[in-house]
Structure 1
Amino acid sequence: MAQTSAASPGKVPRTARGRETLRKLLDAAAAEFGERGFHEASISGITRRAGTALGSFYTYFDSKDAIFTALVRDMSARVATTAAAAVSEGATGLQREREALVGFLHFAREHKEIYRIIDEAEFADPQSYRAHYEGTATRIAARLAEGAASGTLRHGEQDVRAWAIMGMNVFLGLRFGVWDDSRPVEEIAEVAADLLGEGLNARSR
């Protein structure tokens, strides 16, 4: 689970009950922003969904902008945690990318609202929007570099490759996670891994 130390400065919960309330507010914010968008979402809507008093909101957040920023960072952290947890111990090279994609696709299906939230962050919170994608690309590049060091992947422009892989994963999540979740995620990830491993050139017979 992503850490819930996402409260406004000076408002980090110190008790288990406080952390539980903060988690409820973040989950409610995901539903509110995901359904209504940043501009139409309201603090009262968030607290109503969370089943908390309005005062509880201000115990942890200064404003709607503050909880939106916290939510973007929280969801970004949860994506990272989910992808990492999906990679089996000892996996290397393309296997790691395939398994990480499986984890992300499952997350996208369970949290379809992430696409609207991240997209709106481009304008509502550009810094967090950029941090989300830069952080994701950095993690992918690190995996690619480790694969190259172990001899399972080629050396080269890992940063460029990481952004290309991330772009592919994002749109696979949109197509097969949000718009249509009927196909097995393992099947989608296998096709993507084949593309990464074999490319698009015709195979020699």
Structure 2
Amino acid sequence: MAEDAAAKDDKTPRTARGERTRRALLAAAAAEFGEKGFHDGSISGITRRAGCALGSFYTYFDSKDDIFRALVADMSGQVRDYVGPRIADARNGIEAERIGLLSFLEFAREHKEIYRIIDEAEFVDQAAYRAHYENTASRMTARLTKAAARGDVRADVEEVHAWAIMGMNVFLGLRFGVWDDSRPAEEVAAIANALVERGIGTKA
């Protein structure tokens, strides 16, 4: 019986068409919540934007809270998937942080709604909010640790450094990605990266 209940509650798409519908709903939720905020956003608004029936929503999500939680995780994953491959091409640890910020600025400029959604998550779903930043910091800590092992950065880099760099990136993304995207992202990333190099570079 427990297995039957679990199967009933599992809303994972089982077909390519189902996955497309779920993706359309998430994209519509990003637009709805990004424009109206969580409290004023609605399920009917999401389905209207997605161009699908109300019943389709409940095939994949239980409630407005449920799709918001899924959206926060999805947007966090989108940032990871956008930045990760670009960082992989970096020559060293310092350049990886420059490319990471540059890539994030590019993403933020294309998805400005991410800031409103993540900020609201602090009050709508604290667990999703913390997971977004903790997972990001964990990836950065692992990246810096590997860079230290290669001799690219100081040997004493740790979690505090990762959170400090992430905090800088978040506010640079807000200022130069969302509020005003007229300044070249490459220029912003280069200036910030000079601070990183002076702080944790091997010659610091």
**TM-score normalized with structure 2 length:** 0.91
Q: Distance in 1 between matches of 2:128 and 2:194?
A: 32
Per mean C-alpha deviation after superposition, the further-off stretch among 148-157 and 30-39 is 148-157
Are 2:32 and 2:41, in contact at CA under 8 Å, matched by a contact in 1? yes
Q: Which amino acid aligns with 2:135?
A: G
TM-score, normalised with respect to structure 1:
0.91
8 Å CA contact 2:90, 2:96 repeated in 1: no
Q: CA RMSD in A?
A: 1.2
**Structure 2 portions without partners, runs of 5+:** 1-7, 200-204
Distance 2:78 2:181 in 1: 20
| Structure 1: gaps spanning 5 or more residues | 1-7, 200-205
Contact 1:86 1:102 in 2 (8 A): no
Instruction: Give how far 1:198 is off.
Output: 2.0
Aligned length: 192
Cα distance in 2 between the residues matched to 1:25 and 1:11:
13
Aligned partner of 2:100 in structure 1 is: 100
Which one has a larger percent helix, Structure 1 or Structure 2?
2
Query: Are residues 1:71 and 2:74 paired?
Result: no
CA distance in 1, matches of 2:163, 2:144: 11
- In the alignment, the residues of structure 2 paired with residue 9 and residue 138 of structure 1 have an alpha-carbon distance, to the nearest angstrom, of 31
Contact 2:72-2:118 within 8 A present in 1 as well: yes
Are 1:129 and 2:134 matched, yes or no? no
Q: For residues 93 and 197 of structure 2, what CA distance do their matches in structure 1 show?
A: 10
Q: Distance in 2 between matches of 1:181 and 1:73?
A: 25
Partner of 1:12: 12
Is the contact between residue 47 and residue 54 of structure 2 (CA under 8 Å) also seen in structure 1?
Answer: yes
SS in 1 for 2:91: coil
Q: What is the CA-CA distance between 1:91 and the residue it aligns to?
A: 2.5
Q: Relative to structure 2, which stretch is displaced further, 24-33 or 76-85?
A: 76-85
Whether the aligned pair in 2 keeps the contact of 1:88 and 1:99 (CA below 8 Å) is no
